[in-house]
Chains A and B, each alone.
Chain A
């Protein structure tokens, strides 16, 4: 497999990173007391990244395919490491997703008052890691960005979080770092086994550099290592705990984007470099993914905490991504990447509406809430839209991802596919149950005077809703893009 690399005339991808870097510097140089300035700086620079991401998405030449907007500088020549960025049909949807979630998450935190400067600085650091990972074509940098996007999480959750925040933060950090304990040896092993003295991904993708045995070993390590971050069953237990503990914007970025990093890592490093390992372990992947879908749905059914429900639904939905990747078919991979995008937007909306509810009512217990559709109509509306997206209602983005994955899955693994669809039905059940208990029924009197989402604060949520509807109505815009990369992968 050999993909074309088209070099850029202007470093668009680096400027995306620079937006984060300059924004971070600007925040650090602003006095901590000027919270308004800090928030505006964050909004402007995160908005800029979104604009660049949209531009790249539109400007990508789908007929040419391959890696575009590439830029490359030798970094550590002694080891064959270069600063090498490029965008393809897998990377661009993820960059777009990151831009959207980043911008809306910054806007959602507009009312934050506690340690504002540090919060936005850490968010910028985290997101620069995420952007870097989605565009990097060098294994060294992929690993560096991976960790850059993880380590601010500890402080973000432990300082600004809620429910058992220190425990959640520590558990999350140790789990994810345990993942990187497998990824780093696997990456070095791949580089050493290929014996080309390069960390360059497109070069390493050439066929027959690696023996089947090497590919199997490396793929397994990468799958588990990145899979922990993607919430693959049974390594998912950090995820609900971490989501519940995290503050709103961090939950949005974390469930919306960071978990995608895990799946993306499996795809970009595991599947690209070790296709034979992928084929070898596909059965295992399918089994674990099915378990994740059903287990997440069943556990979600019994939760009493609103954020736990979403946390477990994420495990379930990320199982669909894993299932798509395990089918070894073109449609399956397309559906999986589509689902990554759709799920990212959906959970961001979910967490941002729950965030508002929690900020005002100071409770996440489902039993304590009720009749929110009357006391907080806007917050409730966003919550319901997110829940419907999660269920997979047609015309909303997730529908297409789930549909394509399940169609290809039933063809390849009929039994597991049927079971997974059963899991999806359960998850629809618990979503509706939560919606019914929180949004309808008699309104709680003590919440009657609480303010709804203000008009200005509906803006970030409206952006998310419109993206969900847009790609629900015109899924082709996303599928065509993803397909350019998938076709090359299966060539």
Chain B
């Protein structure tokens, strides 16, 4: 049954169709929200229950395996959580709400296709499809001066990255005549080290680097995060990163023959990304800009796992991106709940959070410690896997540099924590009351951050099994 392999995508496609129909109806915030919640919840259930699907579709261009299904599950979870946070979608005008859900689901669908694509052109098409929905999503911001500025910058960097990637694909195809990853993986070794192929691969990776906000394609991130509606920024910093890591790992794994060359380039990119991200984050006053720079730094850690070019490294990056998904979403949840009118949250506005809502303050603390990689959190388990893979390959110095970066990052995370726990709230700030589902979500996220951090074995076995299946 070929269709059975396609169920997560089909569920997302259904969501797209429903939202398209709803976009034609008069705006109704509540109805849109509940429809989105039910549909995204359904897709989580369907992707998680179809983890073990196997198959190759569409003339070897589309592979369904544990690796792709795991990422589809992560994507649908990310989508579900972002939709969950859309209850007060104040950053987007009411009549655009259904469009917002439509574009989010199209983007998720495209990413699901992306993680299964094993043909470079299919990858390119899926990447563009998800990218274009995101450009429009950033434009949806109610205050146009934010949205236009951010969306435009995002779009310009995006199309430049696409152009470079397309050129890289042309080089690869010109040199080898192949576009299917499986065939490319079997190229003879002189071909692998051919200048044209190496240049082509590096340029192709540029397209993924843009998604992941890796240096030198990171310039869009702070502005796009700042200008986008909060929920969209949450989506860009989580689901979009998951998809980028998925495709990056798949492509790098296919070029295993370049083990002597590829890491050299990636090492520089990784070090610069983490250092630039962390140093730039230090002075930030806007919480979303801080998150953007920390995303750039995290992209550097993720690359550290990928550049090991071993299945342990790939597994480490997969684990870590799942961790980033949970931790970043927790941060964004706190931000969205504190800035209920959809404004941009300044860090100093977090003052007195421990009085206004102890639960949110706790969630923020665990998420920040997770992002800083302090045990026992899920972020530490991810970093441990990546660092172990890197030292296995002899990159001891690189790991020390990454750890120094972790210490730098701790400084600005502690600044946020200081605002939330130490500073007292201005007199007129009301107590934040969370609805029952919101409280449950906060407890669930904190629980996942701590529990998986303390006992990572089940998730670890899953990503190891998935990474072993790569070519």
Contact = CB atoms under 8 A, between A and B. Distances in A.
Interface string A172-187: 0110011011101100
Given A75-B457, A182-B403, A185-B399, A151 B388 contact: no
Interface string A155-173: 1001100000010001001
B455 interface: yes
B404 A159 contact: no
Interface in A58-109: 75-79
A177 B461 CA distance: 29
Interface stretch (B62-70, B152-160, B327-335, B411-419): B411-419
B175 interface: no
A151 B421 CA distance: 14
Interface of A: 75-79, 118, 140, 143-144, 147-148, 151, 154-155, 158-159, 166, 170, 173-174, 177-178, 180-182, 184-185, 188-189, 191-192
B375 A144 contact: yes
B268 interface: no
Interface string B391-406: 1100010011001101
Given A159-B422, A174-B410, A192-B392, A181 B400 contact: yes
Given A140-B384, A184-B403, 19 more contacts: A76-B460, A78-B460, A79-B385, A118-B354, A144-B376, A147-B374, A148-B375, A155-B417, A155-B421, A158-B422, A159-B421, A159-B422, A174-B411, A177-B406, A177-B407, A178-B407, A181-B406, A181-B407, A184-B399
A379 B422 CA distance: 31
Contacts of B417: 154-155
A170 B414 contact: yes
A181 B376 contact: no
B456 A76 contact: yes
Interface string B147-183: 0000000000000000000000000000000000000
Given A76-B456, A76-B460, A148-B375, A192 B410 contact: no
30 contacts: A76-B456, A76-B457, A76-B460, A78-B460, A78-B464, A79-B385, A144-B375, A147-B374, A148-B376, A154-B417, A158-B422, A159-B421, A159-B422, A166-B418, A170-B414, A174-B410, A177-B407, A177-B410, A178-B404, A178-B407, A180-B403, A181-B407, A182-B403, A184-B387, A184-B399, A184-B403, A185-B387, A185-B399, A185-B400, A188-B391
Contacts of A155: 417, 421-422
A367 to B, nearest CB: 31
Given A170-B411, A181-B404, A181-B407, A189 B396 contact: yes
A166 B411 CA distance: 12
A151 B404 contact: no
A154 B410 CA distance: 11
A202 B414 CA distance: 37
Which bucket holds chain B's interface residue count? 20 to 34
B422 A75 contact: no
Contacts of B421: 155, 158-159
Contacts of B457: 75-78
A140 B383 CA distance: 13
By secondary structure, the B interface counts as helix
A192 B390 CA distance: 10
A151 B411 contact: no
Contact of A78 (B375, B392, B418, B461): B461
A298 to B, nearest CB: 30
B369 interface: yes
Contacts of A185: 387, 391, 396, 399-400, 403
B445 to A, nearest CB: 17
Nearest to A145: B375
A160 B418 CA distance: 13
Nearest to B456: A76
B460 A192 contact: no
A151 B371 CA distance: 14
A189 to B, nearest CB: 6
A147 B375 contact: yes
Contacts of A75: 455, 457
A97 B464 CA distance: 42
A75 B461 CA distance: 12
Contacts of A178: 404, 407
Nearest to B393: A192
B397 to A, nearest CB: 9
A14 to B, nearest CB: 14
Interface in B416-471: 417-418, 421-422, 455-457, 460-461, 464
Contacts of B387: 184-185, 188
Contacts of A182: 400, 403
Contacts of A181: 400, 403-404, 406-407
B410 A173 contact: yes
Nearest to B405: A181
A16 B414 CA distance: 30
Nearest to A155: B421
A78 B462 CA distance: 11
B422 A166 contact: yes
A136 to B, nearest CB: 12
Contacts of A159: 421-422
Contacts of A147: 374-375, 380
A79 B388 contact: yes
Contact of A192 (B374, B391, B461): B391
B391 A151 contact: no
A177 B410 CA distance: 9
Nearest to B392: A192
Contacts of B391: 185, 188-189, 192
